[in-house]
Chains A and B, each alone.
Chain A
């Protein structure tokens, strides 16, 4: 019911404020925020994604240079009898 209140962002901010005020109490040690997925500021994971994307481009270039594209084109511009269930 609570999540039907229609003011989702306000609720989020309120929860965040509560957590922040809890963290800023008597304990002066900065608390580590808990994240699932990747932490902000940590770009290690996305960097590996970017490296892989670059590797993908390299693969594409290598494949194209050794003549794979004409094979794809030839298959794609002729009706593939197997694909449609005849051949």
Chain B
């Protein structure tokens, strides 16, 4: 059983790793300390993937949304919002479970043995709502309202919170660029502290950033119940053994709520079900 569960998990990790490589395939960027400047960056990727990562060949949808909202010319990002609605309406949080590089990083960190792993964080239910507040305040409102004399807003989520940007963009670029090293200040230190906290918490808690902070997960979660790709539970077959709820790292009870907003479609519940009562539907 555990062997099957692990095989399933590693299969998913392979897909995640392959996708991360594909969307961060500009290897020359890592060698030269530069970023890709081609036309492909017109397009967004479905996961949280900093466009200042030296290997990134696409645009992070959260960064892109802030860039358009913060632009003096626009106050709403139809292009990026449309992309998020499209991806969300097709598969809900599937992208979180299968196509997000930062999700993969957190999952691998969680595999590091630790004496006491935390399954339920105190105040978990309330903390899960935090990501919606982050989306509203840091991704939408602040770039829209806090503007400079030219009417341009900064990407406040990227600037003040995003640990993916520090890990994928900040650290490699600063390591390879001497002039950048001389420009480091309190912001870089703050972002590294946030990254260190995220890394440490990821060892203890499964995907803490996705559960509590990620604005991209917040957007996709809204679509889980109505997405084209969903789960269905056959209650005639279900024996209520709760094996699925036990297997779920996101603390969802799939037998009761197969399309819960927190479900990242990892498939652990499907694999754990002894009677194959959970089905994918399109």
Spell out A's residues near B (CB within 8 Å): 2-5, 8-9, 11-12, 15-16, 19, 33-40, 45-46, 48-53, 55-64, 66-69, 71-77, 79-80, 82-87
Contact = CB atoms under 8 A, between A and B. Distances in A.
A57 to B, nearest CB: 6
Given A36-B258, A86-B184, A80 B51 contact: yes
Given A3-B274, A62-B78, A56 B64 contact: no
B159 A72 contact: no
Given A68-B80, A71-B68, A84-B191, 4 more contacts: A34-B236, A49-B228, A52-B85, A53-B228
A15 B173 contact: no
Interface of B: 1, 35-39, 41-42, 44, 50-52, 56, 58-60, 63-64, 67-68, 71, 73-74, 77-90, 154-155, 158-159, 162, 165-166, 169-170, 173-174, 180, 183-185, 187-188, 190-192, 223, 225-228, 230-239, 241, 243, 255-259, 272-277, 281-282
Nearest to B160: A82
Given A52-B85, A82-B158, A83-B159, A75 B273 contact: no
A68 B275 contact: no
A50 B51 contact: no
A60 B63 contact: no
A79 B82 CA distance: 25
What's the dominant secondary structure at chain A's contact region?
Answer: helix
Contacts, number: 231
B79 A84 contact: no
Contacts of B77: 63, 68
Contacts of A35: 232-235
A49 B282 CA distance: 10
